[in-house]
Amino acid sequence: MVVVDSESATILRVKGLLEFRCQLDSTDEQLVRNAISRTFETLRSQVKSESCVLAVSDSPVIIWPNKDAYATPEEITPSTPCEDMHQWIQADEQETSGKKSSKKKSKKSSLSVINLRLMTEVTKPGPLSAPILTKTVLKSHFVSVTLPLDCVVRTGSSDTIKEYVLYTKHLLIEALTHQLCEMEKVTLQNMKGMTLLVPEPVHFLLPEPKGLVTVVYPAGVPDSQLVTQRKELHQQFDLPDDRPYFRRANAYHFPNEPYKDGYLRNPHLALTHPTLDNGKVYLVQGIYSYHHYMQNRVDDNGWGCAYRSLQTICSWFRQQGYVERPVPTHKEIQQALVDVGDKQASFVGSRQWIGSIEVQAVLSHLLGLTSKILFVSQGAELASKGRELANHFLTEGTPVMIGGGVLAHTILGVAWSETTGQIRYLILDPHYTGAEDLQVITDKGWCGWKGPDFWDQTAYYNLCLPQRPKVI
């Protein structure tokens, strides 16, 4: 387990592949299990040996953790501060490519991560002995599996390389060997005859102060078949049993890893909270994707704002692990409304608007979710709904879709003063048509804090407040 809340901390993450090769000379179950355990013990000895090498990714730095403080290049000495290694690590591809990029970053992405690759030194100094070839003919079963190791530990940025190497020797090597023990346990528990399931490590960031936790799951086994394991983990870490923490969708996304789907996550984290007299801020909990006009090569400018708000909500439920279904497309949303009898068949493929009631129906039909609807007869009344919205974000924490007149928006939070009644709304605007540029989106107010005058004071509004399912 790693605690990652310290701004001065550096996370060391080592990833590597180890080849699991096991010859099974018998079909007896106990003998097979013994052979598998011996192979794992050999791998644990391998990571403890002097041949174990850690290469800092995107740099020329190489470290032998099981020897004395020894690294290349020569400029790195045992007294070099650990944080100085960053100068040897190449900048992100986006920054080195010369392309214009946004300089504004999420406040939550300040965590420093040093990635290392686990390797094995296969040559040794000194004379080499001549190879000896032998031939043996026997009937046996040979199992070959590639194990994907992935471990993390935390170190202070002021540690020197020598301290760092000692740290990795005692903690990172220990973490690697412990992970191999967990992989052995998962492998033996999920054996099917002579077939082995590959164990895969997954990182989860739990609520403070528990920190970053790594769990090994059997690859190919769906979350629906891992309920027992998740219940045990919830008990082990004293977590509530009404929301998921250990589904694969809950896996921690390291700040130096770009999302492959191209969507921005949580752009509101780059904003500064408003200050109100005796006010508090109540925000969406967890991770969502920003869906807006013109994405996915769909020209929905002028009619698709509620569809995009719904997609943002669906992305939240998917990334919190509540559902596995991909975010629905416009046509899938329209077809769902036809299926529930809300629309005629001609609605599919059209450019017709939808509102909060339709959003509620689609969430129910496609994702099995319930939602509350809050009716406001005119926009001026929204200023009096601070308590309801604050309670929603405090207890449910889901994005809220609001529709009024011909416009739809997503509410991600409120700043509200119970004593003065002052309120500000954190708005994610689906009407944005530009690129995924965090700087533009936040500077131009496409994601930003708005006052009560943001709403049409005479139009009526419906708010769809999705509810969390009570599941783990």
Q: Which of 314, 429, 437, 464 is catalytic?
A: 429
Q: Whole-angstrom Cα distance, residue 150 to residue 254? A: 12
Do 204 and 284 sit in the same domain of this protein? no
Q: Which of 150, 159, 431, 443 is catalytic?
A: 431
Question: Sign of the CA dihedral 459, 460, 466, 467?
Answer: positive
Statement to judge: residues 409 and 274 lie in one domain? yes
Shared-domain flag, residues 146 and 22 = yes
What does the DSSP assignment read for 369-388? --EEEEEESSGGGGGG-HHH
- pLDDT value at 73 more than 60: yes
Based on the fold, state whether residues 225 and 286 are members of the same structural domain: no
Residue with more model confidence, 247 or 131: 247
In the predicted model, is pLDDT for residue 1 greater than 50? Answer: no
Question: pLDDT tens for residues 385-425?
Answer: 999 999 999 999 999 999 988 899 999 999 999 999 999 99
Structural domain count, the chain: 2
Segment among 259-263, 335-339, 364-368, 441-445 with least mean pLDDT: 259-263
Task: List strands edge to edge, sheet with 141-156.
Answer: 71-72, 62-63, 52-56, 112-120, 9-24, 141-156
50, pLDDT greater than 70: yes
The answer for 20, left when phi > 0, alpha when psi is -120 to 50, beta otherwise, is beta
Q: Which of 208, 229, 250 is the last residue of a domain?
A: 229
pLDDT score at 101: 39
User: Given a cut of 70, is residue 48 above it in pLDDT?
Assistant: yes
Quick one: 195 exposed, middle or buried, by C-beta within 10 A (0-12, 13-18, 19+)? exposed
What average pLDDT does the segment 319-328 reach? 95
Per-residue pLDDT reduced to its tens digit, 154-200: 776 555 666 665 665 677 888 999 999 999 999 999 988 778 899 99
Model pLDDT, residue 80: 65
What pLDDT score was predicted for residue 92? Answer: 41
Same domain, 171 and 69: yes
In a domain, 42, yes or no: yes
What would the pLDDT profile of 268-320 be if each residue is shown by its tens digit? 999 999 999 999 999 999 999 999 999 999 999 999 999 999 999 999 999 99
305 is catalytic: yes
> Each residue of 215-262: pLDDT tens digit?
999 999 999 999 999 999 999 999 999 999 999 999 999 887 888 899
pLDDT band of 71, cuts 50, 70, 90:
low
Could you say which of 229, 252, 276 is where a domain stops? 229
Burial 111-149 (b: 16+ CB within 10 A, else e): bbbbbbebeeeeeeeeeeeeeeeeeeeeeeeebebebeb
For residue 94, being part of any structural domain is answered with no
Would you say 304 and 312 are in contact if contact means Cβ atoms under 8 Å apart? no
Q: Assess if residue 252 is contained within a domain.
A: no
For residue 193, what pLDDT is reported?
77
Boundary of a domain, candidates 180, 211, 229: 229
Residue 129 lies in a domain: no
| % of the chain at pLDDT higher than 70 | 85
Question: Does 189 lie in the same domain as 272?
Answer: no
What is the spatial distance between Cα 181 and Cα 447, in angstroms, rounded to a whole number? 46
What's the pLDDT at 74? 66
pLDDT at 136: 79
198 and 296 both lie in a single domain: no
pLDDT value of residue 103: 47
Could you report the per-residue pLDDT of 424-453, keeping only the tens digit for each? Answer: 999 999 999 999 999 999 999 999 999 999
CB 305 within 8 A of CB 407: yes
Q: Residue 76: pLDDT band by 50, 70, 90 thresholds?
A: low
Residue 19 counted as domain residue: yes
Domain around 208: 10-87+111-121+141-229
Q: Report whether 152 contacts 15 (CB < 8 A).
A: no
Catalytic residue among 82, 151, 305, 464: 305
Residue 307 lies in a domain: yes
Q: Which carries the bigger pLDDT value, residue 27 or residue 187?
A: 187
pLDDT band at 346 (very low <50, low <70, confident <90, very high): very high
Asked if residue 428 and residue 332 are part of one domain, the reply reads yes
Cβ-contact 168, 176 below 8 angstroms: no
**Which has more pLDDT, 130 or 390?**
390
For residue 68, the model assigns a pLDDT of: 64
Question: Quick check: is 241 in a domain?
Answer: no
- CATH assignment of the domain containing 338: 3.90.70.130
* Helix (H), strand (E), coil (C) string for 394-436: HHCCCCEEEEECCEEEEEEEEEEECCCCCEEEEEECCCCCCCC
**For a pLDDT cut of 90, what percent of the chain falls above it?**
64
307 and 366 housed in the same domain: yes
Q: Are residues 386 and 298 in the same domain?
A: yes
Residue 5: pLDDT band (50, 70, 90) is very low
In a domain, 362, yes or no: yes
Q: Are residues 183 and 304 in the same domain?
A: no
Mean pLDDT over all residues of the chain?
87
Read off the pTM.
Answer: 0.84
For residues 334-357, give the mean pLDDT: 97
- The DSSP bridge pattern shows strands 9-24 and 112-120 to be parallel
pLDDT of amino acid 14: 92
Clarify whether residues 208 and 304 are in a common domain.
no
pLDDT score at 168: 58
